[in-house]
Structure 1
Amino acid sequence: MAHELFNKKNKTIDIKIGDPIPAKAFTSTYINDQTQIKLLKKHVYSLSKGKGNIFITEKNVIHPIDRKLIKRELSDSQILGRTKDDKKIILTEFENSPNVLKEIARLREITFRKVGEGTGKKRDIDDFDKYYKHLVVWDEEGLEIVGSYRIGIGKDIFLSKGTEGFYTSTLFNFSSRFEDEVIKDSIELGRSFVQKKYWNSNALNYLWQGIGAFISNNDWVKHLFGGVSISNNYSESAKNMIVYYFQKWFGDIDDFAESKNKFILSNKTADDLSKIFISDNYKEDYRILKNLLKPTGYTVPVLYKHYSELCNDNGVKFLDFGVDPDFENCVDGLILVDVHKIKDEKRERFINSLSA
């Protein structure tokens, strides 16, 4: 090694650094360790030749955006309210806050990668971000975006772009009834995240208080809809149980939407699960689901739990389930919420709780 070091004196050494290989690339049960090492060596040597990668790679996430720029843009945005611990809940959009959107896109990608999702790109941003509104929880003291929700204004998007203007239309086909009865008096919710340092806080509640404030200020909103995901880190059996439970108790009988890439429960799997989830009470079946997931280390995804507890009977529907290949093959459920059926205690907690 010493000889190799000194014989390069006065010479230029070119170094090429490839994109990061995520740890999950080495968790295959079909390839032994020795073979994986050989493949990794081949991957590294191919960098100098400009050949294609052996392993799937991810781009390095962009650097943080200057916090002073973020603060300046948010100070010119609409404040929906403040939380009890003085976080600001703000509504903004790309046109007025381009740097805020860059930081949201950066934090999205980091957060989603931690749960086995993410785009694998430098940031998670798309064309929908340019005309959707963005709900932001802002930590004034720490100068941090705590979390965010993306909000699509149904009547405006439908009028200007049709159903193709909605993000969920890339994943689901809408029926004509859905277009006639739901879209124009709805908002589409999605791309929600809370950055990791705030996971053990009230951040998700704050985001929902922001949604509640938006609904309170816009009494034309009668429905909420959007995608909620199950990470592909979940085992196949865990995903099957979760999907079966929510189809059983919150399934769509109106055929409002259908996935373009359906998550399919086989007849045998559905039959087996029907012998497990035998209760005539959704709370008892939920207890069964939790107990079955617990030994495997999985829990019901937090937004699935949140939506299932939000409304009185028939107020929440899971319209269909599909697989999203652009987000690490996570399972997307399309939810629909009837705002008028939100429980009184939830309405008080989320809609009537913010200080001005």
Structure 2
Amino acid sequence: MAGKMSHKKFREMNDHLRKGGVLIICPAGKLANWSLSGLQEHKWNPGFLQLAMRNNAALVPIHITGANSKIYYLTATFWRQLSNMMVIREALRHHGKTMKINIGQQIALSSFKEYNKDLSAAANVCLTHLQSIAKNGPAMLDTIAPQELEPGKEELISAIEECEILRQFEDGRKLVIYRCNTNRTSPIIDELGRLRERCYRDIGAGTGNDRDNDVFDESYYHIILWDPSDVEILGAYRVMPVGEQLAQHGVTGLYSNSLFKYHDNAYSCLEKCVEIGRGFIQKPYQKSKVLDYLWQGIFDFIKRYPDYKYLLGVLTIPGAFPEKVQKLIISFYNIYFSSTADFCTPIALFTAENVQDDTPFCGEDFRADWSMLNHLLREEGYELPWPFKQSAKWFSPADRRFLHSQKMILLIR
């Protein structure tokens, strides 16, 4: 990655990453120089960080231990063009030899938040991080552990076949409902956690663990879309009639209560809610009918509880999103989806200043502001997560309060 890159080349690299491709980049753009202190790496071009952040791509550091001949470095000192012609000769010199390669853990993109727009400084820290882990030293940046390999499917298939079928589709896919309700190991819960972690990492919201499971997985219901031909869980949502959960486990049994503390005046409404959330769709299937299928399953489930009037959901803005992007999302949803009801307090309050003061949204034209939001996010290299897009489909211009008009309570963190 040497010199200034053309817009065309940068766009091609972005497109390649968006399609799930892999890029191998040498940020210095040229081979190291020899100095009195040993090999000296050239300054890194921060373009690789721009690519990673724009596409929320996995950033994996790789260190190759090795050196060229003294003749090469001597030539490079006085005549760079001639040394460039010697590169192939130097590569052939290592033919048949063993190379030592250190592959580090994925670097968390959230590590670069403190650098704001000073990507050159962030690139320098990346270089220091790579040099440190290559010598078995401490990591300079936060890392994400790799997920374990996909397990065998025999136990999962058997467990899925025992689930109640909610709906079967013409393409062979089927919606099933599952509830663990036990402390024993469950192949379905394990697989949901593994896929959830993979999907959330794609939008910068992973936990960094092998699986994204929590204590609520055992008692909640899970609506799962299963594809027998692909032998895959394509997507899932977690649901729970709140009144039922309150009766059995109290308010601490609610996932939403771990993120928002409910006031006393909330309970009469909560008892009529069905909580939904923790949804995911595997990336290869996100542009198919999977989301529509899952919502059909959710509504089939809700029909079993005619006394329940509301949906309750928590939407999470990925932590890897920069503050400017988070402010845009919060500003838009504050304008169009806020409620006069005061029945909860967020545990981790978003503290950025002037969220509404410098908003680009007029607040009077939902469609225009919706287009503006998505345009501004794409300018920053980000996409609105699909659960936010789904909730926006339920906007009613006659009444901007979810609580009253759309039968849904939406909590955003």
TM-score band by shorter chain is: 0.7 to 0.9
In the TM superposition, 1:8-157 aligns within 5 A as: 20-22=105-107, 24=109, 29=119, 31=121, 33-46=123-136, 53-95=139-181, 98-157=186-245
Shift of 1:53: 4.1
Shift of 1:94: 2.0
Q: Deviations over 1:264-312 (max 9, x none)?
A: 3423x42221xx3224232332233233334333333322222122264
Looking at both structures, which has the greater relative contact order when contacts are Cα pairs under 8 Å and sequence separation is at least 6? 1
Q: Deviations over 1:222-259 (max 9, x none)?
A: 11112112223433222212211111111021112221
In the TM superposition, 1:130-279 aligns within 5 A as: 130-181=218-269, 183-267=270-354, 269-273=355-359, 276-279=360-363
Amino acid across the alignment from 1:282: F
Provide structure 2 residue ranges, at least 5 long, that are not aligned to the other structure: 1-64, 67-99, 409-413
Confirm or deny: 8 A CA contact 1:307 1:316 kept in the other structure.
no
**Structure 2: how far apart are the matches of 1:121 and 1:101?**
15
2:349 alignment partner, SS class: coil
**Structure 1: how far apart are the matches of 2:394 and 2:262?**
24
Q: 1:65 to 1:220 in 2, by over 3 A?
A: farther
Shift of 1:86: 2.3
Cα root mean square deviation, aligned: 3.0
* TM-score, structure 1 normalization: 0.76
**Structure 2: how far apart are the matches of 1:110 and 1:299?**
18
**Structure 2: how far apart are the matches of 1:249 and 1:89?**
33
Report the counterpart of residue 298 of structure 1 in structure 2: 382
Aligned length: 303
Q: Deviations over 1:195-220 (max 9, x none)?
A: 12212211111111110111123222
**Structure 2: how far apart are the matches of 1:212 and 1:60?**
36
2:303 alignment partner, SS class: helix
**Structure 2: how far apart are the matches of 1:120 and 1:307?**
27
Provide structure 1 residue ranges, at least 5 long, that are not aligned to the other structure: 3-14, 319-335, 340-356
Segment of structure 1 superposing worse, 258-267 or 240-249: 258-267
Shift of 1:35: 4.6
Report the counterpart of residue 327 of structure 1 in structure 2: none
Shift of 1:33: 3.9
**Structure 2: how far apart are the matches of 1:34 and 1:301?**
31
**Structure 2: how far apart are the matches of 1:251 and 1:134?**
28
Report the counterpart of residue 338 of structure 1 in structure 2: 407
Segment of structure 1 superposing worse, 206-215 or 221-230: 221-230
Q: 1:39 to 1:301 in 2, by over 3 A?
A: closer
* TM-score, structure 2 normalization: 0.66
Q: 1:81 to 1:23 in 2, by over 3 A?
A: same
Q: 1:242 to 1:42 in 2, by over 3 A?
A: same
